[in-house]
Amino acid sequence: MTELDLAGRRELILRAAIAEGLVDRDREPVAAFLDLGAVAANVAALHQGFAREAPHADALHAFAAKANCLVPVLGFLREQGMGCEVASLGELAQAEAAGFPAERIVFDSPAKTMRELRHALRLGATVNADNFQELERIAAILAEHPSPSRIGVRLNPQVGLGGIAAMSTAGATTKFGVPLRDPGNRERLLAWYRSHPWLTAVHAHIGSQGCPPELVAAGLREVLDFAAEVDAQAGRRQIRAVDIGGGLPVDFSSDAAAMSPWGAYFAQLRDALPELFDGRYTVITEFGRAVTAKHGFIAAHVEYTKSAGGRPIAVTHAGAQLATRTVFMPEAWPIRVVAHHPDGRHKAGETIRQDVAGPCCFAGDLIATDRELPPLVPGDLVTLLDTGAYYFSTPFSYNSLLEPGVYGARIDEDGRVRFSTIRAPQSIAELLRRTGGDPAQLSDPGPRADAPPHEHPAPTGHPVTAHPAPSEHPALLHHSAATAP
C-alpha cells in the first residue's frame, strides 16, 4: 500500500460516508472511520514479519485493548489471529464479549483487585503481576483454587526514558512493575520464582510512542538475563514465555509508512536478542497504536469561521472530546489535519495560516494552531488523520457532547465502500440515562432524542444495522454500500 493508496482510500471512504449520510452537517456533524481492509493487511504484516525472524518460535500477538476498546474492533482483530491485552475488568469483559478465548487474553494492570484476580485466574487468562503485594494475593488465591493461567511478573529494567516521558515505563521511578535495580529486589524476586514454580513467565513494556528500538532492546536484554538466572537457579526450564510488550512508534507526520515496519523492528530485536527468537520461549507482544492508528480518521464539519487578532479560526465539531491528547499535549501528540470540500473531495490550492478549533467550551480546545491549510469555510470538512487508536474509541464527555458514530469501512475491488456500524451515534436519551436523567422530562426532544439505543437513524433512507449486544457480537455487521461520487 503506497502513500497515494492510503490517502486515496481515506478520501474514497469519506465521500462514500457523505453520500450515505453517516456524516452530515446538521444531523451527524462528526463521525469516525476505521479502514478494516488496511487494518487486516497491517495485522498480516505483523504475523509475517515476526515469523520471518522467528520461524521456530510460538507467538501470541495480543492487541492492547486500551488503544481501541470497541468490541467490534476487538472481534475483528480476533478474526485476524490476534489475542488481546487488557488492563482493567472492563477491558477484560470487552475481550470476552469479542470472543477471545481465555488463553489468548493477557491481563496487565498495576491495580488489580482481588475480585479481578480471582476472575482472571478462574478464566485461565495470562496474568502479569505488577508487584510483590500482588504476588502475595495470587499465591493466596492459588492455595485455595488452582488455575490454568500462565502467570508472570512485570519487570522494570530501569534503563531510562524515551522521547515522551509520560509514555515511557522503564525509568528509575516508573510506577509499573518490580524495579530490578532497586536494592534487594532482584534477589527477592528470584526467591519468589524459586519457591513458586507456577511463575513461568516474565513481562516488560519499555514504553509506547517515543521509545526507540535501541531502548526497547536494552530493556529486554535485562529481562532475558533475569529469565536465564531464574532457569539457572531452578536447574530446569522454568520460564516458558516472555512478554515483550508493545511500543513500536507510529509515524504521525506522513503517509509514507502505510504499514507498520514490523519486519525491520523484529530484525533489529533479533540481532540484539537472538535467544528471544530461537524458539525456546513463547513470545507475547502487546502492540496497539501500531496496529490501528494509521487506518482511522475523524471527519468533522466546519460550522463557523471567524478571525481574532488577525488569525483565521475554523470552528469544527471535533475537539478535545475526541482528540484529548492532542488538545492537552499538542507538542507530544500533534496530528495532521486535511481540508475537504463539502462533498469530501480534497481541498487543494493556496493556503493560509489558521487555527482549527473544536466545540468544547474552553479556549484551549484547538486541534491545530497556526496551521497552513486551504481557507476553510462553513460547510467544509476537516479530517483528523491517524486517529484509529486512543482517539475516537475513548471519547471524553466534556460539555456532554454526544459520542459520534464509528464505522468500519471495506473497499471492494470495484471501488465500492461497504460500511459497518462499530459504535452507533449516541442519542440524547442515552446521554440522559447515563447522567441520571429521564428522557421523558424533555419538553422538546430535539435531534437524536428518539434514536433507540444502539441504532443509527438512517438519514438517507439506507438501512443501518443495529449494533448488537456484546454477547451477540461474533463479528462486524455490514449494513450498506456506496460508491463515492
User: Which residues are catalytically annotated?
Assistant: 361
DSSP-derived pairing of the beta strands 311-316 and 337-340: unpaired
Calculate the alpha carbon distances from 429 to 154, 230, 468 in Å: 43, 56, 18
Q: How many residues does the chain have?
A: 485
Neighbours of 396 (CB within 10 A): 17
How many other C-beta atoms lie within 10 A of the C-beta of residue 200?
Answer: 19
Residues with Cβ within 8 Å of residue 305, at least 6 apart in sequence = 312, 313, 314, 315, 376, 377, 378
Which own/partner pairs from 101-106 qualify as long-range (CB within 8 Å, at least 24 positions apart)?
103/148, 104/60, 104/62, 104/78, 105/62, 106/60, 106/62, 106/243, 106/284, 106/286
Yes or no: say if 62 and 85 are a contact pair by the CB < 8 Å rule. Answer: yes
Cβ atoms of residues 191 and 212 within 8 Å: no
Reference 337, options 289, 302, 378, 292; nearest CA is 302
Contact 358, 396 (CB under 8 A): no
Q: What is the DSSP letter of 52?
A: H
Element (H, E) at 306: strand 296-308
Angstrom distances, CA of residue 456 to CA of 72, 326, 426, 432, 450: 16, 28, 8, 17, 10
Q: What residue type is 190 in one-letter code?
A: L
Burial of 310 (0-12, 13-18, 19+ CB in 10 A): exposed
Sole residue written with cell 478535545: 320
Q: How far is CA 472 from the centre of its chain?
A: 23
For residue 246, report the phi and psi dihedrals to the nearest 5 degrees: -130, -135
State the Cα–Cα distance between residues 102 and 105, nearest whole angstrom: 5
CA nearest to 38, candidates 284, 386, 394 = 386
CA-based nearest residue to 39, from 67, 4, 11: 67
Cell of 124: 485461565
